[in-house]
Amino acid sequence: MRITDVQTFVCSYAFPEADRWYAGGRGQREPLATHFNAIVIRVLTDEGLTGLGEVMPWSDIDARVRAVREVVAPRLRGRSPFDADLLTVFGTDLHVNLALAAANVACWDIVGKAADTPLYRLLDTEGLAEPRLRCYASGGVRWAWFDRPEQLIDEALQHQANGFTAMKLRVGTSWERAGVTVPRFLDLLTRLRAAVGPEFELMLDANMRFSPDEAGDVTQLAVGLRELDFRWFEDPIMRAEDDDAYRGITAEATQADSAAVYRRLREESGMAISGGETTFDPRVVRRLVDADALDIVNLDVTWVGLHQARRMARWLRARGRRCIPHSWTTAIGFAATAHFVAATPNRYTLEYQTIQNRLMDDLVTDPLLPANGYLTLPERPGLGIELDDAAVAGKFQRIEGDILKNL
């Protein structure tokens, strides 16, 4: 079997006004997500089997499409999809690496179809795979400090009513604009904990909203989270690494020693700290873990592909750290992440995006969707999904411009 071509599709979904969500403001800026994008690739073979992958869609879409067409597709044409891990070795270019991660997933999808086997079974090397996965509701982005913060509590109760046993939330809109302090936020979280009860798991993702200069406030917040029995505090402080693997991805990145900042936060607060979703470089993860800066690594399959994800998960398991992947794109990335988690021996939970994004269900046929807070992987071969070509050509045509207004 040989790869004959790699197709690319740029898709978008426009949120109805009621479903738009906030990306976390600073100062007087209040970024609002008005649509969502997807960069889909489909790898074709001379035997008619095809595989799907997804390039991480944030930032420069056109540069990533060029990377697929000018670098990745020529590298794959004429080669066997069974050589996926050899064909998708990373270099130093971010856009190319993200395209290679998508190609790695697509090739594994083909291998699963050729073997007539679900992908999670192929990835399972220890006979410990579990196709039924507990999902956590990943949301808490539609509430606003300047409107009605209690909407966050309403959302959590709705997720609980829908069968979820855990939820990850964000820190809300601009604190400066609304005069928010750590005590005020902790008061809201205290009311949230009382509403959902002690058994419902809660996690907070700061999306690196705080700077190292705010470490005192972040430590105060982390202590409060520990006292409220939050499971983890994700990406609390902006990071910048010693190499170019991360620098420049976050416009406000600082040159502070990330490992030292995160380690001190862990030590002074006693709170479990997680991070690592925005890197393709295992050296970054190793540096943070070896420095005792992270308890949990939230690697992202759309950043690293399945091969690299498996290697990193094994390394983390050997060092007593959890791998709880980040998943915040579309149905394709979610399916790949679900198969990866199912095949990971020390699995814990699977992130499920809850922002009413139709690219999570209508982009593919037979999407993988949780019921009552759990996802059961089907026995269909490969990823178990196929691209809905009619939807791609129709309601999901590309929308120009950044997905965030007021950025």
3-class secondary structure for 176-241? HHHCCCHHHHHHHHHHHHHHHCCCCEEEEECCCCECHHHHHHHHHHHHHHHHCCCCCEECCECCCC
Concatenated DSSP letters of 253-266:
---S-HHHHHHHHH
Q: What is the pLDDT of residue 251?
A: 39
Closest CA to 139 of 170, 94, 103: 170
Q: Quote the pTM value.
A: 0.95
Domains (ranges, CATH) in the chain? Answer: 3-116+394-402 (3.30.390.10), 122-383 (3.20.20.120)
CB 295 within 8 A of CB 318: no
CB 129 within 8 A of CB 78: no
Q: What is the pLDDT of residue 241?
A: 53
The SS3 of residue 405 is: strand
Distance of CA 124 to the CA centre of its chain: 21
CB 136 within 8 A of CB 168: yes
The residues pairing with 51 across neighbouring beta strands, listed in sequence order, are 43
Q: What is the pLDDT of residue 243?
A: 39
Return the DSSP state at 69. I
Closest CA to 140 of 351, 406, 332, 299: 351
Closest CA to 170 of 151, 147, 192, 143: 143
Q: Which residue has the tokens 């750590």?
A: 182
Q: What is the pLDDT of residue 162?
A: 98
pLDDT tens-digit map of 155-170: 999 999 999 999 999 9
Closest CA to 344 of 129, 134, 136, 118: 129
Find the mean pLDDT for residues 258-283. Answer: 92
Find the mean pLDDT for residues 62-74. Answer: 98
CB 398 within 8 A of CB 10: yes
pLDDT tens-digit map of 323-382: 999 999 999 999 999 999 999 999 999 999 999 999 999 999 999 999 999 999 999 999
Residue type, 396: F
Q: What is the pLDDT of residue 240?
A: 64
CB 145 within 8 A of CB 115: no
